[in-house]
A and B are shown apart, each in its own frame.
Chain A
Amino acid sequence: MANYSTNEFRSGLKIMLDNDPCSIIENEFVKPGKGQAFNRVKIRNLKTGRVLERTFKSGESVEAADVLETELEYSYTDGSTWTFMDSETYEQYTADEAAVGEAIKWLVEQETYTVTLWNENPICIAAPNHVVLTITETDPGVRGDTSGGGGKPAICNTGAVVRVPLFIDQGEKIKVDTRTSEYVGRVKD
């Protein structure tokens, strides 16, 4: 695997740190006019999502991480792993629970997700901003009430719980913003 020198550091660069793949968020070159130079780097651990700050002595090299972000279609789960597919090559990738993480409640078959691959293995799944879910359980809809005021919890087919307007019924499809878990609108077939 290639190495990067600190003077190649820039945001978005993927490097290995403490045996985990990381992405550089911010690189600050710190140097007193007459002194030792350092690179103070803000890094996201791509496996845990945690952001940390680390310091390199300038001129050091660090191993590059073989990390690739790709768009994959979600296929199915066997309960302990989740399988995604490249819709062009039909190649399949299996993600574990840690990789799926928070995205688990937004996984809809045939929907496309941004999958971070490290050495060809999924380590992080990011949901699109909006997904369409089917409501499996909620209190009966109140006809005529289209004000949307108040609302009620609804359990969706993925397990996600979303607050929906009172007029929404069981079995209906709704569009949800995955960033805020908020109801966006009704989807008619």
Chain B
Amino acid sequence: MSNWKTNTTIETLKCRAALLNTVRHFFQKNNTLEVDTPTLSQSTTPDPNIESFTTQYNSKQYYLHTSPEFPMKRLLAAGVGAIYQICKVFRQGEVGRNHNPEFTMIEWYQPSLSYHRLMAQVDELVGELLKDKISLKETVFISYQNIFEQYLGINPFICDVNKLNGVLKENNIELVNSEIKLNKDALLDLIITHLIQPRLPKNVPVFIYDYPETQAALANIRKANGDNEFNVAERFELYINSIELANGYQELLDANEQRRRFENENKQREQADLQIIPIDENLIAALDYGIPAVSGVALGLDRLVMLATGMDSISDVIAFTIDEA
């Protein structure tokens, strides 16, 4: 059945345009250059939890990017300095209240900022974007370890699979198919999405940082030292009103380590019967050449519009969803 109408309102479209305007002003003020990298690429992320769309060109397989990260890092190697990009990215199979297979991402890299200072910059930008839209309370910065301790009384770095399964069972979260055995990271994902995310305080930006080292393919790992008992991935996520808004890293700079992680992800893909992804040799070569110490983050624009307009589904804030496209 044909239906030409949009699901969203003109008012929402105007809000979306105004937010984009604010984003561009913000980066101009912060001397961050807008760039535009290809949507189609001969490689993509091998992350086993992200599936890319594919297409053909000159009888070669191309992927639609799931994030502009790899080419943006090549620009960093070229010495471009601070950069940002606003683009559509594509992910197979992601459909729901907060997901559409194509969505708009604001991604940026700041060579002069540590990931902690980048969190502060994200907070500043989001604060500016949501000013007059929702009254945000004071931002919370909390480590991955501390938020698990605070909400569930467990240390995610020490807990084994049995303990995590026990916590889930106590809270009546069980997979329908009990034969599926989730690995530790998937169990932690189940806990964070089902038992922590929905219970986060309202109207409070919450930054969670320092993730398990197994949960950051592209982030720098900080080895355990006097201050820290565990190796952590220097990664952060931002949540507002239980919506995941941003994911950022202190970026991994070591080409050999990056290759090892890609190969490891491809091994996981093989075990899960997923297609093997050719390693992005251009990215590896750029890392090999050298990129400056840099932090980077991706922020979901559609979800920001949801927060700014009070809409509770992504289909309310984009002109046409995948089903209407």
Contact = CB atoms under 8 A, between A and B. Distances in A.
A7 interface: yes
A55 B237 contact: no
Interface string B297-311: 010000000000000
Interface in B262-299: 298
B177 A36 contact: no
Given A55-B173, A57-B177, A60-B180, A36 B97 contact: no
Contacts of A28: 96-97
Contact of B94 (A27, A36, A37, A40): A37
A7 B237 contact: no
Contacts of A57: 175, 177, 180, 182, 186
B189 A29 contact: no
A35 B182 CA distance: 12
Contact of A60 (B99, B177, B192, B247): B177
A40 B175 CA distance: 10
A56 B176 contact: yes
Given A34-B49, A37-B49, A29 B96 contact: yes
Interface residues of A, number: 23
A56 B177 contact: yes
Contact of A29 (B94, B180, B216): B94
Contact of A32 (B96, B174, B192): B192
A61 to B, nearest CB: 9
A55 B190 CA distance: 9
A56 B175 contact: yes
A36 B176 contact: no
Nearest to B66: A33
A28 B244 CA distance: 14
Contacts, number: 79
Contact of B93 (A32, A54, A58): A58
Contact of B95 (A7, A38, A56): A7
B41 interface: no
Contacts of A36: 49, 182, 185-186, 189-190
B47 interface: yes
A62 interface: yes
A32 B193 contact: yes
A65 B57 CA distance: 42
Contacts of B31: none
A152 B37 CA distance: 77
A111 to B, nearest CB: 33
A34 B93 contact: no
Nearest to A52: B172
Interface in A28-73: 28-38, 40, 54-60, 62
Contact of A7 (B93, B97, B244): B93
A62 B179 CA distance: 13
Given A37-B93, A38-B194, A58-B93, 10 more contacts: A7-B95, A17-B176, A28-B96, A31-B94, A34-B47, A34-B50, A36-B189, A56-B176, A57-B175, A57-B182
